[in-house]
Amino acid sequence: MEALHLVTVFSGVALGGVGACLILTNPGQSDYESYATEALTTYLKQEVCVQASGNFGGFLSSYCKTFVDTGRPHIQKVIANKTIRQNYVLFSIYETELFLPSPVPNYQFETIGAFQQFYTYQADQF
């Protein structure tokens, strides 16, 4: 009976420790904005700029990448304005809808943040 009590106490302390760790490492809105900006600019450079350069010639790729880098602050503002954060104390869920100019498609992202990390579990193009 004493061993069962010891296991119960140890399990409670372990769960409390994990819960405290989750609370302390729940990333905030600005952390998400930095993550999403980096992810979107990387996508634009690797996918959209490459596709545009294929259609119009290789010189356009470098201009496209420069344009993306120049527009980075604006991209971060758009993400900040189009993101809804649901804070569940232990973790957060971020929903972002991006309506981008043509030829870039519009996207809806859902991302979970925990342990100072982000995992985008849904990315829909529409």
pLDDT tens sequence across 23-58: 888 999 999 999 999 998 998 888 878 776 665 666
Domain that holds residue 40: 28-125
Whether 76 contacts 61, CB under 8 Å: no
Whether 58 contacts 52, CB under 8 Å: no
64-85 CB burial, b ≥16 within 10 A, e <16: bbeebeeeeeebbebbeeebee
The mean of the pLDDT values for the chain is: 86
Residue 18 lies in a domain: no
Q: Above 90 in pLDDT, residue 13?
A: no
Residue 94 lies in a domain: yes
Residue 70 lies in a domain: yes
Residue 107 lies in a domain: yes
**pLDDT the model gives residue 105:** 76
Cα→Cα distances 1→12, 14, 122, Å: 17, 20, 47
Cα→Cα distances 114→20, 21, 81, 99, Å: 12, 10, 22, 27
Residue 1 lies in a domain: no
Residue 23 lies in a domain: no
Question: pTM score, two decimals?
Answer: 0.80
Share of the chain above pLDDT 70, in %: 91
Task: State how many domains the chain has.
Answer: 1
Residue of 65, 41, 38 lying closest to 53 (CA atoms): 65
Residue 17 lies in a domain: no
77: confidence class by pLDDT, cuts 50, 70, 90: very high
Residue 7 lies in a domain: no
